[in-house]
């Protein structure tokens, strides 16, 4: 198994773990976004650009969800 494959395995495993734990903390949503960014990099490095594009979009979606949860938490604290 080469380093690129190990990198891809790490990225996908991190995505799975963070996605499974998202309900526990908003920080897992941010971790999911980071793991999606790693998955996107893996896709482009591997030459599978459609995978890289889709993972980049998922990264943006997760960042938006994290921001929304972060704003909701801030609103709850100030209320």
pLDDT in tens, 20-77: 999 999 999 999 999 999 999 999 999 999 999 999 999 999 999 999 998 877 666 6
Neighbour count for residue 5 (Cβ, 10 Å): 11
Rounded CA separation 7/13 (Å)? 10
Q: What is the pTM of this model?
A: 0.89
Domain boundaries, the chain: 3-78
Q: Is 14 exposed, middle or buried (0-12, 13-18, 19+ CB in 10 A)?
A: middle
Neighbour count for residue 4 (Cβ, 10 Å): 11
């Amino acid at each position: 198994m080469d380093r690129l494959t190990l990198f891809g395995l790490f990225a996908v495993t991190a995505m799975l773990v963070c996605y499974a734990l998202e309900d526990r903390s908003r920080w897992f949503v941010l971790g999911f976004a980071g793991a999606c960014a790693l998955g996107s990099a893996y896709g482009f490095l591997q030459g599978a650009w459609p995978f890289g594009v889709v993972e980049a979009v998922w990264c943006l979606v997760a960042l938006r969800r994290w921001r929304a949860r972060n704003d909701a938490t801030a609103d709850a604290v100030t209320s």
